[in-house]
Structure 1
Amino acid sequence: MSNLDRVTLSKPGGRAPRRRWEALRLSFFCELNARDLARLFADESVIHLLRRLRATVTIGLVDLSRERAQVVRRLNEAGVPVAAWLLLPEEGGYWCNAHNAGEAWERYGDFVAWSGAHGLEWERVGIDIEPNIDEVRAVRRSPLALVRALPRIFRCIAENREMYQGLVRRIHADGYPVDAYVFPFIHTEREAGTEVLQRVTGMIDLRVDREIVMLYTSFARPHGHGFLDFYARHFPAVAVGVTGGGVEEGLAPPPPLSWDELARDLRLARRHTDDIHVFSLEGCVERGYLERLVDFDWGVPVETEGATERAAVLTKRMRIALRALDKPHVTSLAAMAAVAVPLGLLALANRALRPSDPSRGEQPEPEAEAPASSTAS
């Protein structure tokens, strides 16, 4: 069975947790600079544990350095599968989105040349679809910064999307299956039949071999596990986290997942898929989670306590908002009418009820005379 066949198997039906490791595909994201990456894998026990877990390591291409290549080659030699996580230089936006397709093509070309020069082997290539990192940092500092992106509601992104689809075809031609790491809200936009989120944030709805939905509950406490349970059923693969690490986004990140939180999220994800990813490897190593995963019991039941239902209600409201915003011209006219019509009616009513003002030459309307009585005197 080819890599592509192996990852496009239909997701299992039902919601009963399963304990068997044989069906599980476990992967860990790693987003370290070259020096810290080399330090992480200097500990032989990390590779040993990854092999026991039969796990894949998805390496973020923060740089294309000799040190990073040495780590990948070492994993290749140890028989640990490695996936390439395509990242851009920060001045290019860092993550892939509708506004940097040209930079993504260039970065992929550099990746191919670098991999060939160092003899590196990759299982697949992943495209991380998120807004520009500078915009994320601005919004984290002040949510009002989002207002500057609102004019993009009127923008067309069809050409940008096709450039990325061309990149997917190029990666396929090089022999790699393609993943897309996506926010869960892309599913809500599909249900709404809109492109609002894509135009405003730069997210792109791409056709790839596998979508991995990023459901990081550490950013959405205490109800994040409800969104995980709600959205996970709609995607073939789920990423949980954050256990630590990640790029600096402008503010201190929330506390990493505790072991109990990670265990809960893993079991929730397993309700829906056997293809589970964890962000991040470095966080799991630092907190001793890898060792605890070796004998992890996937069958412990998890109670969502109504959180899934709350997530369903919120996403329904999001669909309504997206449909309204998807036709900005109509929405703008409707908003103007909603303001102008009541004001106009109020002005007419005020004029009709206002008493006359003799000083302005206004005379009251003469009262109609009563009709003469037809009764004979």
Structure 2
Amino acid sequence: MKAPRLTFFCELGAGPLQALFEDPAVLEHLVALRASVSLGLLDFGAERAAVVRRLHEAGIPVIAWQLLPAEQGYWFNLDNAPQAQARYEAFREWTAAHGLRWDGVGLDIEPDLHVLRRLLAERWRYLPALLRRLRQGERLHRAREAYEALVARIREDGYRVDTYQLPLIVDERQAGTTVLQRLLGVVDLSADREVLMLYSSFVRPHGVSLLESYGAQAGSIGVGSTGGGVELPGAGAAPPLSWDELSRDLRLARRRCEDLHVFSLEGCVRQDFLPRLRAFDWGAPEEALKTKTRRMGLMRRVARWGLRACARWVR
């Protein structure tokens, strides 16, 4: 089995980002793997621009992973469409000012960081506020229109549009509802490439089931986490994937599609995974846990039934 197309997510501040790519071995490994980098745009500074140019000069494609300041929700969602549009305009100016080139633009669609932190801190006490969001159908409609306009603008600028989506969006589509979008504040967008974030480290011991069930419906699969990213107090410590776990996830994902994303590059470097990936045997057999996969399928069918029932109630 031939190697897939690999993209590594990289979500670092300016200083750690510079330090990461000061090691020439990192660039060497990425070139050997023919990998791309989806670079989280935490800022529009000269240091980040210098890293983008360095990657481009090495022949490594870079995707502009759009992110907002934490106070604006960080990820793109129902609550911050105007800020997302303004952020993209600032990105265009920064790109022009530094003469940067991009392989595409990535839109990370996840719940508002503030909402997620409140949910993790208050748990069941936050449920009434969450349920009130079910009545926000018009707000979702306006946000979707704004994001569709943003996608059109990005394409007019000549970029491919990638979206990074939670796997639950697949169940929402199959149920034909907007319940999860209202509750979680996510938006179902059409893109040129959709990446389902199937991060098994956060759902142990059900990671294999997650990959097997949702991977069959994914155009591109994101595996992880090998470490890094936003810290969420109250979420509990989810240890990064070990090499054995990452190997398992990569082989399972490769059986489903040829386009894989890995979160994160910095985690892979920290654990010295890049040299191992260069010698990785993609064709080695990997047995799935069929019983647990069937259980996941049943849970998803029940969830879709619940979504349809809830949709009739909120109309």
Question: What TM bracket, shorter-length normalisation?
Answer: over 0.9
Q: Does the Cα contact within 8 Å between 2:38 and 2:63 map onto a contact in 1?
A: yes
Counterpart in the other structure of 1:91: 71
- How far residue 30 of structure 1 moved from its aligned partner, in angstroms, is 0.3
Q: Does the Cα contact within 8 Å between 2:147 and 2:189 map onto a contact in 1?
A: yes
Please give the per-residue CA displacement for 1:209-254, whole angstroms capped at 9, x wherever unaligned. Answer: 1100000000000012101111011111000000000012224540
Counterpart in the other structure of 2:208: 225
Counterpart in the other structure of 1:266: 250
Counterpart amino acid of residue 207 in structure 1: S
Runs (5+) with no aligned partner, structure 1: 1-18, 331-377
Q: Does the Cα contact within 8 Å between 1:138 and 1:250 map onto a contact in 2?
A: no
Counterpart amino acid of residue 98 in structure 2: H
- Secondary structure of the structure 2 residue equivalent to 1:271: helix
Q: TM-score, normalised by structure 1?
A: 0.81
Please give the per-residue CA displacement for 1:321-366, whole angstroms capped at 9, x wherever unaligned. Answer: 1111112258xxxxxxxxxxxxxxxxxxxxxxxxxxxxxxxxxxxx
Bigger mean CA deviation after superposition, 237-246 or 305-314 = 305-314
Distance 1:199 1:111 in 2: 28
- Secondary structure of the structure 1 residue equivalent to 2:257: coil
- How far residue 165 of structure 1 moved from its aligned partner, in angstroms, is 0.2
Q: Does the Cα contact within 8 Å between 2:107 and 2:163 map onto a contact in 1?
A: yes
Counterpart in the other structure of 1:365: none
Please give the per-residue CA displacement for 1:148-197, whole angstroms capped at 9, x wherever unaligned. Answer: 11111111111210110000000001000101100111110111111000
Q: TM-score, normalised by structure 2?
A: 0.96
Bigger mean CA deviation after superposition, 136-145 or 221-230 = 136-145
Say which of 4, 20, 35 aligns to 2:2. Answer: 20
Distance 1:276 1:329 in 2: 37
Say which of 108, 129, 134 aligns to 2:88. Answer: 108
Say which of 34, 57, 73 aligns to 1:54. Answer: 34
Counterpart in the other structure of 2:283: 299
- How far residue 90 of structure 1 moved from its aligned partner, in angstroms, is 0.9
Q: 1:58 to 1:329 in 2, by over 3 A?
A: closer
- How far residue 147 of structure 1 moved from its aligned partner, in angstroms, is 3.3
Give yes or no for the alignment of 1:311 onto 2:293: no
Distance 2:314 2:75 in 1: 30
Give yes or no for the alignment of 1:326 onto 2:311: yes
Bigger mean CA deviation after superposition, 248-257 or 316-325 = 248-257
Q: Does the Cα contact within 8 Å between 1:95 and 1:133 map onto a contact in 2?
A: yes
Structure whose alpha-carbon radius of gyration is higher: 1
Say which of 136, 159, 163 aligns to 1:155. Answer: 136
Q: Does the Cα contact within 8 Å between 1:82 and 1:122 map onto a contact in 2?
A: yes
Distance 2:297 2:83 in 1: 37
Distance 1:240 1:172 in 2: 27
Distance 1:260 1:146 in 2: 38
Q: 1:204 to 1:286 in 2, by over 3 A?
A: same
Distance 2:314 2:265 in 1: 46
Counterpart amino acid of residue 20 in structure 1: K
Counterpart in the other structure of 1:248: 231
Bigger mean CA deviation after superposition, 294-303 or 212-221 = 294-303
Q: Does the Cα contact within 8 Å between 1:83 and 1:122 map onto a contact in 2?
A: yes
Counterpart in the other structure of 1:169: 152
- Secondary structure of the structure 1 residue equivalent to 2:196: strand
- Secondary structure of the structure 2 residue equivalent to 1:277: strand
Counterpart amino acid of residue 166 in structure 1: A
Runs (5+) with no aligned partner, structure 2: none
Counterpart in the other structure of 1:374: none
- Secondary structure of the structure 1 residue equivalent to 2:198: strand
Question: How many pairs were matched up?
Answer: 310
RMSD value over aligned CA atoms?
Answer: 1.1
